[in-house]
Structure 1
Amino acid sequence: MAEKFIKTQALYDFLGLEPFILLGCLIAVAWIFYKFFLGEATEERHRSIRNHFRTLMRHFMALSFLFVFFIFLNSSGSQITEAHRITPYIALITYIWGNVVFVKTSRLIVLQYLFLGSMKHGVPLLLVNIFSLILSIVLTFWGISHIFGLEIGPLMATSAAASVILGLALQDTLGNLFAGISLQVDRNFEIGDWLEIVSGIQKTVGQVREITWRSTTLVGFSDELITLPNRFMANAQISNFSPPENPIVRRLIFRIAYGENVELAKQVLERVAAGIGEIRGIPAPWAYVSDTTENWVELKIIYFIDSYGSQFAIGDKIFTRGIDALKSHNIKLARQVIDISGTRGASTQET
C-alpha cells in the first residue's frame, strides 16, 4: 500500500551509503572547525557548543540505527513478507531523520562561523534560525516533489489565498521578523553593545542581550530585562556606545575656591584619573578651566573609557579620589554662596 503514496525506488536510491558517509563527514567538519578556530571562546560558550554537539551526536546515532535497520530490511525484504511491508515506512522515517541531522549540522556550522566574528559576546540566533527555517522548507518541498510525486506549483497556487489570510493575521509578527532581519543586515549593533534608543519622548538605555524573531532584549543598568519589538527598534533613533575602536568620552566637574592654585589642581585631577584602571591611558585624561566666578573656578576633567555600563562606577571613583587628593594638597573646594538683598542694604551669607 505504501507504493501508492511513496516513490519507493526514488526513496531507496537516496538512502544509499554515500549520503550517509557525506553526512558523517559534514559532522566531522563542524567538529574540526570548533577545535581549530574557537579555542579562545569562554568556558560558557564552550559548554554551549559542546551541548549542541552532544545533541547532534544523539540524533546521528539514532539515524545510524535506522539506516542499518533499513539496510537489513531492504536486503531481506524479498524473503520476509512483513519486512517488505514495513520497509518503505522505515525508509521514510530514516529519510526524515537524516534531514533533521543535516539541518542541525548545517545550523551548527553557520552558528560557529558567525560566532567566529563575535567571540566575546556571541551571536544572535535570529539569522541562524532563519537559515534553519529556509533549509527545512527547501528539503520539505524537495521531498514532497521527489518522494511523494506531488507537483509543488499547483499546490502553492491553491494555497495563495490561505497565505494572504495568514499574512494579514500575522502582520505584526512578520513586521517584527523583517525588521529584525534588516537590523542584522545593517549590523548597526551586536550582542553586548550598549545602546540608547530614543523614540519621541521615550528613551531606553541597555546592553543588547538577544535578538529574536519578534523582539530585541536589553539588560539595563539595574540588571532589568527590557524587551523592545524589532519594528520599534527599526523606527527609533539608536546611539551605539560600544564602537570597536572608538573610546567613550566622559567628563566631570570640580569647583575649587577662587584664588587656589589652578595648575596644581588640574595636575592632581589628571593624576587621579590616570590612576584608575578602567580609564584609558591613550588618549590621556586632561583637565581645563571651563568657567569662573568671583567665588569659584570650575575645572572639567575629560577622560576616555571602554565600558559604557561602568561609567557611573568610574565616575564615583574619580569624585571620591579627586576630592581626597585635592584636600591632601590643601586645595579648598568652592562653597556655595547665597546673596540676600534687602530694602536697607545687601548682605552676603556663606553656607
Structure 2
Amino acid sequence: MAEKFINIQALYAMLELEPYILLGCLIVIAWVFYKFFLKEATDERHKIIRGHFRILIRHFVILSFLFVTFIFMQSSEAQLGRFTRFTPYVAMLIFIWGNVVFVKTSRLIVLQYMFLGSMKHGVPLLLVNIFSLILSIVLTLWGVTKIFGVELGPLLATSAAASIILGLALQDTLGNLFAGISLQVDRNFEIGDWLEINAGGQKATGQVREMTWRSVTLVGFSDEMITFPNRSMASAQISNFSPPDHPILRRHIFRLAYGTNIGHAKQVLEHAVAGIGDVRGIPAPWSVVSDFTENWIELKILYFIDHYSAQFTIADKVYSRGIEALNAAGIKFARQVVELSDTNPNHGSSKL
C-alpha cells in the first residue's frame, strides 16, 4: 500500500546514519554556542534558552528511539513477517520528526545569535518565527518532491491566480508583516525601551513589551496595554528615551517673588537637586531664568536622569527638595496678583 504513494527507495536513502549524526552535531554546536557566548545573559534569558534546549533534547530522544526501531525493522524483516509493511510508515515518521528537530535546532541557533546583540532586553521573535516558517516550507516542499514525486512547477504555475486573490485578501496582514520585518531590521528600538509615539494624531507613551508579526505592544505608565499595528509604527514619529549612554533631560519651573537674589536662588536650587540620588551628577543640574514679569521671576531647573519610567517619582523629589531648600534659604515664592480696575474715573485701581 505504501509503495503506491511513497518513493520508498528515496526515503530510505535519506535515513542513513550520517544525517542522524550531523543532526546530533548541530545540537552540540548550539549548546557550545550557548555556553561560550551567552554567559552574560540575564537569568530570565538563561531560563528561556534552557527551556528550548530541554524541549529539543526530548524531541531528539524520540527521534533516536524511532531511528533505532527503523534499523531493527530493516535488519529483521525475515523475523517480523507481515509487520514489515509498517517499516515505510516508521521511516516516514522519522523523516517528519527529523525535520522538526532540524527546524527547532536551527531556530535555537538563530535565537541565540540574536541574543548576542540584545542580552539585556531580549529578542523580538518575529524574525525568528519568519525564519522557522520559511525553513519549514522549504523542507516540506523538498520532501513532497523527493518522497511523493509531486512536480511542484506546474502546480505553482496554475495557482498564480489564487495567489493574487489571496494576496489582495491578506493585504493588511502582509503589510503589517513586512513593516514588522523593517522595524526589526532597522532596530530603532528594542523590547524594554520607552517610546513616545505620534501616529496620525494618535499619541501614546509606554515601554515596549512585545513585537509580533502584526503589531507592537506597549505598557503605559498606568499598566495599560497599548497596541500599534506595525504599518502605523513604520510611518509614525517615534521618540526613544532608552538609548544607551544617552541620559534623559528633564526640567521644572519655580516662580519666585520679583526682586529675589537670582544668583543665590540658583545655587540653592542646584544644590538641592544635585543631592537627589536618582539625578545624574554628570552633567550636573543647572538652573536658568526662563521668564519674568513685574510680579515674579521664573527659574527653570534642568537635570538628567537615566530611567524614563522613574521621571514622575524623581520630579516629585525635585519639587519637594526644591521647595524645602528655597524656604530654608528665606527665598519667597511669587504670589498671585489680581488687579481690579473701576470704570469710574473718580475711583483709582486697587490690587489684591
2: distance between equivalents of 1:272 and 1:69?
76
Identify unmatched segments of 5+ residues in structure 1. Answer: none
Which residue pairs with 1:218 in the alignment? Answer: 218
**Cα distance in 2, alignment partners of residues 247 and 138 from structure 1:** 46
Q: Which amino acid aligns with 1:2?
A: A
Q: How does 1:170-319 map to 2 (within 5 A)?
A: 170-319=170-319
Cross-structure match for 1:159: 159
Q: Does residue 28 in structure 1 map to residue 7 in structure 2?
A: no
Q: Deviations over 1:247-294 (max 9, x none)?
A: 221111111222233222211221222222222222221111122222
Range that drifts further, 259-268 or 113-122: 259-268
Shift of the alpha carbon at 1:161? 2.2
SS class of match (1:80): helix
Structure 2: gaps spanning 5 or more residues: none
- Give the Cα–Cα distance (whole angstroms) in 2 for the partners of residues 41 and 186 of structure 1: 23
Q: Which residue of 1 aligns with 2:138?
A: 138
Matched, 1:123 2:123: yes
What aligned pairs does 1:42-53 form with structure 2 within 5 A after superposition?
A: 42-53=42-53
Moved more, 45-54 or 121-130: 45-54
State the AA in 2 paired with 1:348: K
Structure 1 residue 204, shift from structure 2 partner: 1.3
Q: Distance in 1 between matches of 2:92 and 2:145?
A: 14
> Where does residue 348 of structure 1 map in the other structure?
351
- Is 1:63 aligned to residue 63 of structure 2? yes
- Aligned-pair CA distance for 1:319: 0.5
Q: Distance in 1 between matches of 2:126 and 2:2?
A: 39
2: distance between equivalents of 1:78 and 1:155?
41
Change in Cα spacing, 1:178 to 1:320, as seen in structure 2 (3 Å) is: same
The equivalent residue for 1:77 is 77
Moved over 3 A (4+): none
Higher mean alpha-carbon deviation, 83-92 vs 263-272, is at 263-272
CA distance in 2, matches of 1:59, 1:298: 69
Report what 2:106 is aligned to.
106
Please give the alpha-carbon distance, in whole angstroms, between the structure 1 residues aligned to 2:99 and 2:238: 40
8 Å Cα contact 1:77/1:87 also seen in 2: no
User: Per the alignment, in what secondary structure is the counterpart of residue 337 of structure 1?
Assistant: coil
Structure 2 CA distance for aligned equivalents of residues 179 and 106 of structure 1: 24
Alignment partner, residue 12 of structure 1:
12
TM superposition score normalised by structure 1: 0.95
Find the aligned partners of 2:147 and 2:21 in 1 and give their Cα distance.
21
- CA shift for structure 1 position 103: 0.5
The match for 2:326 is 326
Give the stretch that moved more between structures: 294-303 or 94-103. Answer: 294-303
Deviation of 1:51 after TM superposition, in Å, equals 1.3
Q: Per-residue deviation at 1:162?
A: 2.1
String of CA shifts for 1:175-232, please: whole Å, max 9, x gaps: 1111111111222211112112212322111111111111111111111111111112
Paired residue total: 349
Task: Select between 228-237 and 93-102 the one with higher mean Cα deviation.
Answer: 228-237
| TM-score computed with the length of structure 2 as normaliser | 0.95
The CA deviation at 1:59 is 0.9
Moved more, 172-181 or 3-12: 3-12
| Superposed displacement of residue 79, structure 1 | 4.2
Counterpart Cα distance in 2 of 1:81 and 1:166? 49
Deviation by residue 1:291-349 (Cα, 9 ceiling, x = unmatched): 22222221111111222222211111101111111112222222221122223211111
The RMSD of aligned alpha carbons is 1.5
Deviation string, structure 1 residues 76-128 (Cα, Å, up to 9, x no partner): 12443334211111011001001101111111111111111111111111000
Deviation larger for 324-333 or 258-267: 258-267
The one-letter code sitting in structure 2 at the alignment partner of 1:154 is: P
CA–CA distance in structure 2, aligned partners of residues 282 and 306 of structure 1: 11
CA distance in structure 2 between the aligned counterparts of 1:231 and 1:174, rounded to whole angstroms: 10
SS of the residue corresponding to residue 333 of structure 1 reads: coil
Aligned-pair identity in percent equals 73
Deviation, structure 1 residue 137: 0.8
1:284 & 1:250 partners in 2: Cα distance? 12
> How far apart, in 1, do the equivalents of 2:319 and 2:208 lie?
29
* Paired residue type of 1:144: V
What secondary structure, in the 3-state scheme, does the structure 2 residue paired with 1:223 have? coil
C-alpha distance in 1 between matches for 2:83 and 2:29: 36
Q: Which amino acid aligns with 2:265?
A: A
